[in-house]
Amino acid sequence: MMYLNNAATTYPKPQCVTDAHTAALSAPPAGQFRSSGQGRVKDVFTGCRENLGRLLGIGSPERIYFTSGATDSLNQLFHGMERKGKKILVTQTEHNSVLRPLYNGMAAGAEVEILSCDKYGQVSPEVFEERISPETGLLVLNHCSNVTGMIQDAARFGEIAEKHGILFMLDASQSAGCIPVDCDGWHVDALVFTGHKGLFGPQGTGGFFLRKGVGMRPYRYGGTGRDSSRLVYGDGDYEYETGTQNGHGIQALGAGVEYILDRGVERIAEAEKRLMGILYDGLSEIQGVTVYGEKGRNLGPVLSMNLKGLRPSELAYILQNGYETVVRAGFHCAPLIHQAMGTEEQGTVRVSISALTEEQEVLQFLEILREIAAAAEN
């Protein structure tokens, strides 16, 4: 089986992740703030937070909060995070994990405005600046498109948001672990990540970072293992990790983050860029293939394509059932970007790699596609 659906969930995981998960399930559970402690040995939660801080450029890792993933994080943030105005600017590239909470009232009283992207998925920081009004309170930016692999200039967006006093939320679900992220340097107020993609953690892990001074009402209350006699929180004095945490998952996520730090995210980004270059070059030579991006322009580890004569779902079906090759077909839970790409009727086939994808797999995929394209042409 060849797996090229890493933008959904990475597979395989590094061996250290599997080992950490197994070890966590085989050992007495780690309860955050709830046990007698182990002296100087760092607990898995703190260790994971610190490593995430190193990887994502967060100097105050204690302000990273674990959740079940990016969707959970975004719902919590939209529900309770302060906004400096009622208008929220979001990009056309956003995933439904952003769009659906906003369009279904999770951010009460907010007005949502869409910042358009071009056909490659690129959003202009200058257009963002032009669209700022006194009512604008928050910018939500999808760092790397899960459809076209376009990476936005987060540093420039952050600079503009900072200049105008607008809060800046960065969705790093698709970029964390794949390309360098500099949360502090880019003036990010809230950063969202998921564990099961480029960070190589298990599904059901993820979290968010919230900058000190940015207020947020919790989405839920409950046991936290700390200060149990207190029943009412003072205004602003909240806790965000309630209930028993996914300790097993966080231990495995921690191993994934360590793997990336050991290998080096810059080196991973280079390796993925090289493989994507092979993919772009190879696809451009196949008759009937349309690629919705360009080598050297769309730099993330994911691309979208279509083949003349077949719907995306048909090509994915042939790949899956005829060649045991897993890709994804459709809209990829990001419906608005397809209007810019011209694929709003049927979507695309998405091909995505990870730091563990091998060149041989990319070459084999191209070979398979040549065969299918030749058959589709006849």
Contact footprint for other proteins (CB under 8 A) = 309, 311-314, 316-318, 321-323, 328-331, 333, 346-347, 371-372, 374-376, 378
Contact 221, 37 (CB under 8 A): no
| Residue closer to other proteins, measured from CB, 238 or 323 | 323
Alpha-carbon span 206 to 317, nearest angstrom: 30
| Residue closer to other proteins, measured from CB, 290 or 313 | 313
Q: Minimum distance between the CB of residue 4 and other proteins, rounded to whole angstroms?
A: 15
Q: Minimum distance between the CB of residue 268 and other proteins, rounded to whole angstroms?
A: 28
| Residue closer to other proteins, measured from CB, 147 or 372 | 372
| Residue closer to other proteins, measured from CB, 346 or 364 | 346
Q: Minimum distance between the CB of residue 113 and other proteins, rounded to whole angstroms?
A: 25
CA dihedral 111, 115, 116, 122 (to 10 degrees): -150
Neighbours of 229 (CB within 10 A): 4
Q: Minimum distance between the CB of residue 377 and other proteins, rounded to whole angstroms?
A: 10
| Residue closer to other proteins, measured from CB, 11 or 323 | 323
Q: Which two tokens stand for residue 179?
A: 């390309």
Q: Which two tokens stand for residue 264?
A: 């080096």
| Residue closer to other proteins, measured from CB, 282 or 309 | 309
| Residue closer to other proteins, measured from CB, 117 or 334 | 334
Of 210, 156, 208, which is closest to residue 185 (Cα–Cα)?
156
| Residue closer to other proteins, measured from CB, 80 or 335 | 335
Of 355, 340, 274, which is closest to residue 304 (Cα–Cα)?
340
| Residue closer to other proteins, measured from CB, 87 or 328 | 328
Q: Minimum distance between the CB of residue 140 and other proteins, rounded to whole angstroms?
A: 23
Contact 7, 301 (CB under 8 A): yes
285, burial (CB in 10 Å: exposed 0-12, middle 13-18, buried 19+)? exposed
Strand partners, 2: 325
Q: Minimum distance between the CB of residue 281 and other proteins, rounded to whole angstroms?
A: 24
Q: How far does Cα 377 stand from its chain's mean position?
A: 37
Of 355, 297, 299, 357, which is closest to residue 327 (Cα–Cα)?
357
DSSP state of 118: -
Alpha-carbon span 41 to 21, nearest angstrom: 19
| Residue closer to other proteins, measured from CB, 290 or 346 | 346
Q: Which two tokens stand for residue 234?
A: 């003072």
Sign of CA dihedral 259, 262, 263, 264: positive
Q: Minimum distance between the CB of residue 370 and other proteins, rounded to whole angstroms?
A: 12
58 contact partners, CB below 8 Å, separation of at least 6: 52, 64, 183, 184, 191, 209
Q: Minimum distance between the CB of residue 368 and other proteins, rounded to whole angstroms?
A: 9
Q: Minimum distance between the CB of residue 364 and other proteins, rounded to whole angstroms?
A: 13
The CA-atom distances, in angstroms, between 247 and each of 32, 37, 182 are 8, 15, 26
Alpha-carbon span 88 to 51, nearest angstrom: 31
Task: Classify strands 136-142 and 87-91 as parallel, antiparallel or unpaired.
Answer: parallel
Q: Minimum distance between the CB of residue 372 and other proteins, rounded to whole angstroms?
A: 7
